[in-house]
Each structure stands twice: as structure tokens, then as C-alpha cells.
Structure 1
């Protein structure tokens, strides 16, 4: 294995599959099985889930909604996705804990760093929900922050519509070039749509590599953990 402890970043859109909203049972089963295959190798797995398949704070803000309220709604959407993913994992025998940055003890544990690390050491999958608990921060930033706190070796960013980082949107620009390797400075300078600048800076400052790959190809999470050359790797230094 190339990595012993990872943070898997799943966007809400990835969980929606081709339908683009809600949860796709097919995708949920696929993700759960892929996570199980990696957990069976002894890899410690933390997951950060987005909520864009249910609600996006940016859309609420564009509707005239208070930005903070819109973002809090987005955090609640990530909790719904996290509970659904927990259920999918536990159905196939993977012990899982959901920790939320906003306390809701009836449905999940509050986020406690030391407790999360202990869960990982015991072989449990930990799902971090509700972002960082504050508005104006994306779930990309959550993934970067939790990776630093958990001392994860890499962030695996699973996408449902692309298989890496391109110079432009490959669905629109046929001349878009796929990158095999980048630095965070490249991402920031060229404005590449990998993760927001706050998350990129946090990863760069803490020297946390990022692998962007497609979740739609079965077995890709395992390939990533084994160090096979898939997707695009982003590093702090060239």
C-alpha cells in the first residue's frame, strides 16, 4: 500500500450519479463496496462528504438568502448524505462513525479530534459531516483541515464527471489537456477548478498531497491507495 491513512473527499454530486440530484442507490452501493475493499487492506479511512446533490449555499445566496443561513443549510445536507453513506457501509459489515461539526447528538457524535483518531486506529471508517461548522467554508476546506488534523497521508478527491485535472472543462473544450502531476502553486496561479483557494493553501502549507480521480470506474479507490498511476496528483512541491 502507498498510504496507510487517507481522507476520501466525496462530492454530493458524485453520490447523485447521472441523475444529478438526490442519492443514487447504484452509486452508493459502488462507493460502499470500494471503501470496504480498501478497509479490508487495513487502510484507515476518513471520509468528507459534500451536500451539493441536496442543497448548495451558493444557490441560496444567489436567491437573496442570507449567506450564513444558506451555508448552514448546506451543512445539514452533508449530514443527510453522511448518514446515508454510513447506512450503506454498515449494511456490508463496515463499522462506521459519523462525526458532525454542528452538534446533533441524537444522530451522530460531535467532532472530537482525538476520538476520531481512536476510531481510525480501531479500524472504523469515520465520516465527517457539517463541514467545519462555520459558514463561508467549503467541504473542500473541510477535507484539507481534517486531513491535517488526522495526519492523513493523502486526500483522495473522487469525481463523477472527470478523471483528473484538465486545463479546461473537457466536456466543453475538446482541446483540454489532462495533467498527470501539478503543484498547488500551479493550481492557484492558473485558477484550475480543483478545490477552492483556501483548501489549496491549507494543503500546500501542510504538505498534504491530493489525488483527483474518477469514482465512476469500479475499483479506483483501491488503485489510488495502491499507488497506481490514475487521475492527477497535486503536491506541495514539484
Structure 2
């Protein structure tokens, strides 16, 4: 047994050739779960997500608008991932568009209004559900084989080089939080929880759903 197989419980399942309509449905379902996860993590107000710490820090130091920084970081990550062997595909663009549209719709709804004033235990439960939604949503849409989003592409690139999915995600998330914090980005309890929990949850999701991270290439 190789060192990689001993350390990474994510099954090296061959890429499944699902019918195109099924792949599209799986892709959209995964992105919808991701949007719901982001929405929940925002509404509990326990701390922004890892990449938002970086975005806020860069925006503060450069004077650029938040949206400009998000777009610029996304482009830089896509270029870096391309050099690491994960090329952007049609799903990369749709990842950005679908999540943005779904997230705007969710944030515009009254469903979780007032959640930030709920008891901490309730907010913590919603945060945990949000992490599950992000992990399982990511495994679903990446496993559909239509391409991974800009930031998930880094995790896929690390996996292709023998890193376990969970460890790859944790290292990336923690590194992003650290750099963002040094630049002045906001860090909360929820930020730390997501940085350390999302990797193991994502790895578990790939295993439970029998999806392959390599499908995102």
C-alpha cells in the first residue's frame, strides 16, 4: 500500500462517465448547496469565511473595492491552478455565476433574518450545517466533472500531487486566513472553525458520495 493511500481515505475512484444531463443536475445541486452554506455562514455572524478575510485585508491595504479584489484574487488563483495542472473549464465560470445569483437570492429572502440575535448554540448549529453544505456541495459539483471553481482548483491541484483532500483544504484555508489577518482582515470564531473543519468535511463528503476530486481537472 502506498503512503498516499494509507493517509488519504478518499477513494481513488475512476472518473464516472455520467450522462450529460445527470452531470449538469449534479453540478447545479452541488453549487446550490455551496451557496446555501455561504449564506448560512454569513447570517450567523460568527466570523467571515477564510477567503473573505483575505479579500477584506487586501481591499483595506490597496484601497480597491471589495468586488474588484474578489475578482482579481479569483483570476490569480485560476492562473496559479492552471500552472499546477488544473485548467479552467465551463464549470469554472458557471461556478462563479450560479453561486453569485443563488447567494443574492438567498440573502434577499427573509428566511434567516434575525439569526444573528439567536442564542449562540443555535448559531453554532447553523454554522455546522453550513460547513456540511459547503463540503458536500463541493464534492457534488466537482465530482460532476464540469470543472472546479477558482479556489477549489487549488485543493484539486494539491490532491493530484498526492496530498489528502482534507489536509490540502486545511492548509489552504489556514494560510489564506493568516495572510488576510496580517493584512488587517477580520477573523472570528466562525472563521477558525470553518478553516479547520471544512477540509475534513470535504474529504468525508467525497468518500460518502463516492466522488473523485480528480474529476475537477
Same-fold status (TM-score > 0.5): no
Higher RCO, Cα 8 Å, sep 6+: 2
Q: Which structure's residues are more often strand, by fraction?
A: 1
Pick the structure with more helix per residue.
2
Give TM-score scaled by structure 2 length. Answer: 0.32
